[in-house]
C-alpha cells in the first residue's frame, strides 16, 4: 500500500501562494533588461543623453530609498523639510519597492528579529536567493503587513499620502520621466528602455543586494551577533549602504560609512542638506561606543588566536590579554561615570535657565558666575570623554598587534 502522508506534513511542506503581480513585474522587467536593452544597443545604439537620463533618475531613485525610506523613515536618524520628504516620496515610489509605510515597518521588523527564520521578513538564514528576492514572490507570513511598529509613520501626512495613492504615483513616476525625456530628445524608445526599464531593474537589485549579499560577503568589525557584513564594493553600488555590519549595531546613526574614506553619498547628501536647512537633528553615535564595539570584537579575535596558539609563551600572552581586558573594563566604567555626570550637568543647566527666566533675570552677576562655572565643568567633562576615546583607540592598536603576534 502507498505510504500515507500526514496532514500536518502537507501543511508544513506547502509553499505559500505566489504573488503574481510582483512575480510578473520582476521577471518581465528583468527579461527586457537582459535581452531588449542589449539588442537595441547593438542594433541602434544609445545616445549620451539617454545614458545621462538613466544615471540621473537612477540616482534620484536610489537616494530616495537610502536617505528617505531607510535612514529618515525606517530609522528616524534625522529630520527633514517637507519639500525634501515629498521628493523622497515621489522618487521612492518610482523605485517600486512598496510604499514608505510598508517598506519601513518591514525593515524595522528585520532589525528587531534579524536572522530569525520565522520573524525576519528577509532572513539571510533562509538562503541567499530567498533574502534577495524570493521573500517578495510568495505570501510568506513574516512579510505580512503589520504597522504596529510604525505609529509615528502613520502620523506623518506625507507618508500616508504616498501610501494612499501609491499605485497611481508608481505609474506616473515610472512613465512620465522616461516619456518626457523621449519627447525632449526625440528618442522615445531608448529612453523608455534605459530611464524606464533598465533603471528600474538596477534600482531593484542594488537595494536587494543589501538584504542578501551584505549578509554573506564582507567583514564583521563591530559585531558577530548577526550575519550583517561591511563591504566596500557593495557600498559603491548602493549609495553607501554597504557598511551593513556597522548599521546593524548602530541603526540610528545617519551615517553608514563613518570614516572620511568611506564611500557614503547618502551621508553626504543628508549632511549637505543640513547646511541649507533641509535636514536637522542628525544623529551620530559617540565615538567611544563605536570603539567599544570594535574592542569587543578585537578581544574575541585575540581569545580565539590564544586558544589556537601552540608554544610555551601562551601563559605570557594570557597575562597580557587579561591586563588589557581589565584596562578596557576600567575605561568603560570611567566612561559611564563621566557620561552620567555630563547628563546631570545638562539637566542642572536647563533647570538653572528655567529658574533665571522665572526670576526675570534677577541676580545677573550670580547667574553669570554660575554659567561660567557650568561652562568650565562642561569643558572639563568633554575633555575627559575625549581622553577616554583616545585611550581606547590606543588600546585597540595594542590589541591588534598582540593578536597578530599570537597568530
131 and 212 Cβ atoms separated by less than 8 Å: yes
pLDDT of res. 300? 80
Burial status of residue 361 (CB atoms within 10 A of its CB: 0-12, 13-18, 19 or more): exposed
Q: What is the DSSP string of 62-85?
A: HHIIIIIIIIIIIT--SEE-HHHH
pLDDT of res. 37? 96
Over residues 290-337, the pLDDT tens digits come to 988 888 888 787 777 767 666 655 566 666 666 666 677 666 677 677
**DSSP type of residue 44:** T
65 and 209 Cβ atoms separated by less than 8 Å: no
| Residue given cell 543647566 in the structure block | 349
* pLDDT average per 10 residues of sequence, the chain (407 residues): 43 75 95 97 95 97 98 98 98 97 97 95 95 94 91 97 97 96 95 97 96 96 95 96 96 95 97 97 90 83 71 61 68 69 66 59 49 56 69 71 64
Over residues 248-258, the pLDDT tens digits come to 999 999 999 99
Cβ-Cβ contacts under 8 Å for 317 (sequence gap 6 or more) = 306, 309, 402, 405, 406
pLDDT of res. 2? 44
**Helix locations, 17-150, DSSP H:** 20-31, 37-43, 48-63, 82-94, 100-112, 128-129, 135-137
Q: What is the DSSP string of 363-375?
A: SHHHHHHHHHHHH
pLDDT of res. 377? 54
- Percent of the chain, pLDDT > 70? 75
Q: What is the DSSP string of 182-234?
A: HHHHT-HHHHIIIIIIIHHHHHHHHHHHHHTGGGTSSB-SS--SSS--B-HHH
* Beta bridge mates, 219: 230
Q: Count CB neighbours of 368 within 10 A.
A: 10
Q: 3-class DSSP state for residue 253?
A: coil
114 and 108 Cβ atoms separated by less than 8 Å: no
Distance CA 392, CA 386 (A): 10
Residue 141 CB-half CA count within 13 A: 6
280 and 208 Cβ atoms separated by less than 8 Å: no
Distance CA 85, CA 69 (A): 10
Amino acid at each position: 500500500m502507498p505510504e500515507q502522508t500526514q496532514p500536518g506534513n502537507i501543511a508544513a511542506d506547502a509553499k505559500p501562494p505566489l504573488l503574481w503581480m510582483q512575480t510578473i513585474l520582476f521577471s518581465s522587467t528583468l527579461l527586457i533588461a537582459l535581452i531588449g536593452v542589449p539588442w537595441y544597443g547593438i542594433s541602434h545604439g544609445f545616445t549620451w543623453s539617454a545614458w545621462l537620463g538613466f544615471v540621473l533618475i537612477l540616482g534620484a531613485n536610489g537616494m530616495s530609498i537610502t536617505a528617505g525610506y531607510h535612514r529618515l523613515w525606517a530609522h528616524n536618524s534625522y529630520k527633514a523639510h517637507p519639500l525634501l520628504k515629498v521628493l523622497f516620496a515621489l522618487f521612492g515610489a518610482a523605485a517600486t519597492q512598496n510604499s514608505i509605510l510598508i517598506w519601513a515597518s518591514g525593515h524595522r521588523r528585520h532589525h528587531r528579529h534579524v536572522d530569525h527564520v520565522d520573524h525576519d521578513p528577509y532572513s539571510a538564514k533562509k538562503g541567499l536567493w530567498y533574502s534577495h528576492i524570493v521573500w517578495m514572490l510568495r505570501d510568506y507570513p513574516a512579510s505580512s503587513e503589520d504597522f504596529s511598529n510604525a505609529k509615528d509613520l502613520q502620523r506623518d501626512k506625507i507618508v500616508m499620502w504616498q501610501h494612499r495613492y501609491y499605485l497611481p504615483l508608481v505609474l506616473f513616476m515610472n512613465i512620465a520621466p522616461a516619456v518626457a525625456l523621449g519627447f525632449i530628445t526625440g528618442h522615445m524608445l531608448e529612453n523608455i528602455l534605459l530611464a524606464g526599464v533598465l533603471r528600474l531593474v538596477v534600482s531593484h537589485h542594488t537595494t536587494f543586494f543589501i538584504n542578501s549579499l551584505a549578509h554573506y560577503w564582507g567583514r564583521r568589525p563591530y559585531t558577530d551577533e548577526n550575519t550583517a557584513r561591511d563591504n566596500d564594493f557593495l557600498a559603491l553600488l548602493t549609495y553607501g549602504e554597504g557598511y551593513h555590519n556597522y548599521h546593524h549595531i548602530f541603526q540610528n546613526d545617519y551615517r553608514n560609512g563613518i570614516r572620511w574614506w568611506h564611500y557614503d553619498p547618502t551621508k553626504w547628501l543628508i549632511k549637505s542638506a543640513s547646511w541649507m536647512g533641509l535636514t536637522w537633528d542628525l544623529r551620530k553615535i559617540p565615538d567611544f561606543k563605536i570603539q567599544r564595539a570594535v574592542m569587543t570584537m578585537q578581544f574575541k579575535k585575540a581569545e580565539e588566536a590564544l586558544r589556537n596558539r601552540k608554544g610555551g609563551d601562551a601563559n605570557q600572552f594570557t597575562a597580557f590579554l587579561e591586563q588589557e581586558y581589565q584596562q578596557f573594563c576600567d575605561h568603560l566604567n570611567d566612561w559611564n561615570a563621566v557620561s552620567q555626570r555630563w547628563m546631570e550637568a545638562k539637566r542642572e543647566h536647563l533647570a538653572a535657565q528655567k529658574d533665571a527666566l522665572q526670576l526675570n533675570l534677577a541676580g545677573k552677576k550670580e547667574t553669570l558666575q554660575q554659567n561660567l562655572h557650568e561652562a568650565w565643568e562642561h569643558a572639563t567633562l568633554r575633555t575627559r570623554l575625549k581622553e577616554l576615546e583616545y585611550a581606547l583607540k590606543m588600546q585597540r592598536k595594542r590589541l591588534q598587534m598582540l593578536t597578530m603576534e599570537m597568530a
